[in-house]
Chains A and B, each alone.
Chain A
Amino acid sequence: MSRKIFTLCSLVTVLAIALAACATPTTEAPKPTEAPKPTSAPAATSAPAATAAPKPPKPLVLGFTASQTGAQQVASKKQIEGLQLWLDDVKKAGGIKLKDGTIYMPEMKFYDDESKTDRVQALYTKLINEDKAGFLFSPYSSGLAKAAAVVSEQNGKVMITAGAADDATMEQGFKNTFQLYTPASRYLTGAVDALQKFVPTAKKVAIVYEKDSFSTSVAKAVEPYAKSKGLEVVIYEGYDTGTTDFAPFINKIVAANPDAIIGGGHFADGTTFSKQLFEKKVPVKFVAILVAPPEPTFKDIGDAAVGVIGPSQWEPQVTYSADAAKAANLPYYGPSNKAFVDAYTAKYNAAPSYHSAGGYAQGLIFQKAIEDADSIEQAKIVAALDKMNLMTFYGVVKFSTEAKTHGKQDAHSMVYMQWQKDASGKLLTQIVWPLTAKSADAVLR
């Protein structure tokens, strides 16, 4: 009997060791797959003293979590790719240089948060205490960023958030958290304006949203805005995160006979919802969905993507440039929009999404803050970020300095893209709103 037990235990031990050996650690920073083509990467603002021997670069650990698995993985992957491209550009430029010749070479340290809030809090604590991360970037999505912000604020670490647009998070009087995205309250208000321009006869709108922090913020802001514009909100209802069968919900929407559907949540539900709207042949002319449409993989749903409009923090066709900055009386910093798009496409063999641009901009703003502060002291970086008001390829960036909304994004604005078909029937995106930035006329469904 004891021999049998021994044999069994041995087998289990061998199996456990084999499984452990097969497991892939996810804590290492992604390795660059290939060197990006030359871009006009941001030049250092000051050169080190010419006569002194160059100091060896000092490492600067930048910590964050990435959703390599789970519901947020698609957008998160894009964000990390953008951040990685920024890191490549900084390394190519020789690091971030201070006026005294000190050079800091950023290093990324990240873990997979599995798109789970509880893992985010544990991992950010680990990044600060064990990995000694000097500065933090946020994970993707408002819910995860909110969880990370609690830890970063408790530890007094500067964190720049991307992929996090929730208003409520940034209205808690945070001192060290800075939001790059246009807040959720401004996400879909433009869609209402676009609806009234594209479908002047529209009277009824259905607002349906995922019941999470970010999407609820968006819906709460767009409902009164739609009403203030004279539209009747015939449905204002949330659905649970993880919903996969929208059929009964869609029947209810059809019964309310809206002219437009506005809302959504994140990639998985937004994609499924759009697909089922198409399958059910829902007769609305205007559909604007959060997050999912700007993702290049949204086109995988084929014809169901045509006509779907999405608010976007950035699109490859945007017109932010040094000239535009000059016209707006703002400084311009970093690579041109074309340089970013070309470098990203060359490196990843795919078009960048706004998540990718947000990831790059996250690093770029952090780099600019260090250069402006001429230091890596947390307080000086905070002061530099407070003063920041500039234009990059990603758009204008300025943070609120009000006590209650400190760090909330004040200046960045949204564009609205739409999936259309070109003459050959190929799916592509076009900016359709605002009209001053449009790359094509909107197509009604």
Chain B
Amino acid sequence: MNIEALIASTFDGLMLGFVYGLMAMGLTLIFGVMKVINLGHGPMIAIGMFAVLVMSQALGINPYLTLPVIVVMGILTGIVMYFLALHRVINSPELTTLLATFSVNMMITGLMTVIFTTSPRGLDVTLGSLQFGQVTILGTRVTAVVIAVVVTIALYLFLYRTRQGKSIRAVANNRSAAELMGINSSWMLGLSFGMGTMLAMISGMLLATMFSFTVLTGNTLETKSFVIVVLGGLGNPTGALFGGIIIGLLESITTIFIPVSWVPVLEFVVFIMILLVRPNGIFGARSS
């Protein structure tokens, strides 16, 4: 085994893991607040990718400067999606909300396929690299990590230090009690969905600066998000972040030892094992 390859892969996995974590945080935030399994998460990641593509290629904006636009766009899209597709069925059984978000997934994927086709796209972003022996750290990945960390900290400050954030947590904790305290739970649920969608779109934007993508890439990443969320514990944003890092490291490090085609198999073996042994996830509370 080559130690430098291991170090290089650890760095690559760690850096990718932060973005994966951010991506899964959106999914787990929505579940944690409103108990909705959002199958529309993948297309939101794809919208983030294509939003940065359109803004950078058509309008000539630096991809990283599109971040504020994507933040606003994510929150608004999520709120609109919540009130159009979920609000009326939010108190229905989980299968109903799951099907509602699945419909959203189908509609957005179809619409995006009509507009953008399923052809591979890519952003020409180069931020240089640092080299230490065989270890090369790409500037695009370092920037993605910095943005992912900043967004995560901002999210926590919002949830724990602002009135709106505290209201969201109150609704997640006990919706009826929150309403009795005068909190508009519908608005808070919509805002939570907006925050989750925003996280999906930001992660899409960051992934677009690293890899080529298609309209369907979001759905592949949605599956990965589920693995991460289960690993970290459903409804636990911190767990999702660590889950993302674990999956990123797993993908990168195992490639050194086993054929690359076996990595997805290993990921899903982990997924099944977690469901069997610790269904609340590594960072979730132990089931009684």
Known contacts A114-B118, A279-B138; A248/B129 CB under 8 A: no
Interface residues as binary, B78-117 with A (CB distance below 8 Å gives 1, 0 otherwise): 0000000000000000000000000000000000011001
Band of interface residues on B:
35 or more
B46, chain A: closest CB distance, angstroms: 13
Q: How far apart sit A107 and B255, CA to CA, in the bound complex (Å)? A: 50
Min CB distance B259 to A, Å, is: 5
Asked if A255 is at the interface (CB within 8 A of a chain B CB), the reply is yes
Segment at the A interface, from B6-14, B23-31, B32-40, B198-206: B6-14
Contact A254 B118 (CB under 8 A): no
Residue B4 lies at the interface, judged by CB distance under 8 Å to chain A: yes
**Selected interface stretch from B161-169, B179-187, B207-215, B235-243:** B207-215
* Residue A84, interface by CB 8 Å: no
Contact A245 B211 (CB under 8 A): yes
Among B12, B117, B264, the residue within 8 A (CB) of A247 is B12
Known: A70-B118, A251-B8. A244 touches B211 (CB 8 A): yes
Chain A residues with a Cβ closer than 8 Å to the other chain, count: 35
A239 CB–B CB distance under 8 Å: yes
What 0/1 pattern do residues 226 to 242 of A give for CB contact below 8 A with B? Answer: 00000000000111101
Would A251 and B252 count as touching, CB distance under 8 A?
Answer: yes
Q: A56-81: contact bitstring with B at CB < 8 Å (1 yes, 0 no)? A: 00000000000011110100000000
The answer to whether the Cβ of A300 comes within 8 Å of any Cβ in the partner chain is yes
Contacts of B12 in A (CB 8 A): 247-248, 251
Q: A239-B261, A281-B136 are in contact. Are A252 and B5 (CB under 8 A)?
A: yes
Q: Collect the chain B residues with CB atoms within 8 Å of residue A237's CB.
A: 259-260
Give the CA-CA distance A240 to B255 in the complex, in Å. 13
A252 and B120 contacting across the interface, CB-CB below 8 Å:
no
Q: What total of A-B pairs shows CB separation below 8 Å? A: 98
In the complex, the answer to whether B129 meets A254 with C-beta atoms within 8 Å is: no
Chain A to chain B: the 8 pairs with minimum beta-carbon distance, closest first: A255-B5, A255-B2, A244-B211, A248-B255, A69-B117, A268-B120, A248-B252, A251-B8
**Contacts beyond the supplied A249-B255, A272-B122, A281-B136: 15 A-B pairs with Cβ under 8 Å:** A69-B113, A70-B117, A73-B117, A73-B119, A211-B261, A237-B259, A239-B260, A239-B261, A240-B264, A245-B251, A247-B16, A248-B256, A251-B8, A254-B134, A300-B124
Residues of B within 8 A of A (CB): 1-2, 4-5, 8-9, 12-13, 16, 113-114, 117-120, 122, 124, 126, 129, 131, 134, 136, 138, 210-213, 217, 220, 251-253, 255-256, 259-261, 264
With known contacts A248-B255, A255-B256, A279-B129, A240–B120 Cβ distance under 8 A: no
Complex Cα spacing A311 to B198, Å: 44
Pick from B119, B259, B260: contact of A69, CB under 8 Å? B119
How far apart sit A280 and B217, CA to CA, in the bound complex (Å)?
24
B252 to chain A, nearest CB (A): 4
